[in-house]
Amino acid sequence: MVKMYGVTRVYAGGVQALRGVNLSIDKGEFVFVVGPSGAGKSTLLAMIYRGTVPTRGQVWVAGRNIARLRWHEVPLLRRRIGIVFQDFKLLPDRSVYDNVAFALEVIEVSRRDIAKRVPMALDMVGLAHKAQAMPDELAGGEQQRVAIARAIVNDPFIVIADEPTGNLDPDTSMDIMNLLCDINMRGTTVIMATHNQLVVDRLRRRVVQLDEGAVVRDELRGGYCGEA
């Protein structure tokens, strides 16, 4: 599903975000990527949806070397990946329904399909009753649910979540985590970068820990801080 071979990413100015990362994530896995700020978590996630490309090494996603993708193939890859961010990235002038539908409109899905798939996604995240609400009328957790609905509406094979609970209180964070677990239970791979010790320790899933761009721990049912 996702394979990284000796991936190094050096940004302009010489900052090394990743150093020789080797990683293999199978279909249906739930993986936490943990580590301090600046450890390279977001860069690692961005490699998967080709938000960036490796300076050295290779990243393979669904059998394709992402550095070798042609420009017109990148959107096709992203259509198969759902992405969730800490700041939700919702359009403030569109309703909940329209925000989710937007992800389908821009990839030219037919109106009939949009009308069928958007309510299903909203139902999945428990927001069917707020379809016509505007984002600023929703609480933080609800806004993140809308972002998750948008990420899954195109039925992706992988969901990438970059600190999705970063702006949420512990209870709401657990709600969001339960939602991501439900999505994972349906066979979708979930890769999530987080600082949230509570959710990592409670869920006990695979944990990949980064420090200064290098993988320092890869534990199958790990906690936030490891065995030590």
Least Å from the CB of residue 45 to another protein: 12
Query: Which lies closer to another protein via its Cβ, residue 66 or residue 203?
Result: 66
State which residue, 49 or 57, has the beta carbon closest to another protein: 49
For another protein, give the closer residue by CB, 47 or 207.
Answer: 47
CA–CA dist 180, 172 (Å, integer):
12
Q: Would you say 63 or 92 has its CB closer to another protein?
A: 92
In the sheet with 206-211, reading across from the earlier edge strand, the strands are: 81-85, 158-162, 189-193, 30-34, 206-211, 214-219
Kindly state the smallest distance separating residue 71's Cβ from another protein, in Å. 7
d(CA 176, CA 157): 19
Cα gap 39→213, rounded to integer Å: 5
**CB 227 to another protein: min, Å:** 36
Q: How far is the CB of 166 from another protein (least distance, A)?
A: 17
Which one, 75 or 170, has the nearer CB to another protein?
75
Distances (CA, A) of 112 to 11, 100, 117: 44, 14, 9
Q: Which positions touch another protein (CB under 8 A)? A: 49, 71-72, 75-80, 83, 89, 91, 102-103, 105-108, 111, 150, 154
Cβ burial, residue 120 (10 Å; 0-12/13-18/19+): middle
Tell the smallest beta-carbon distance from residue 149 to another protein (Å).
Answer: 12
Residue 49 in contact with residue 85, Cβ under 8 Å?
Answer: no
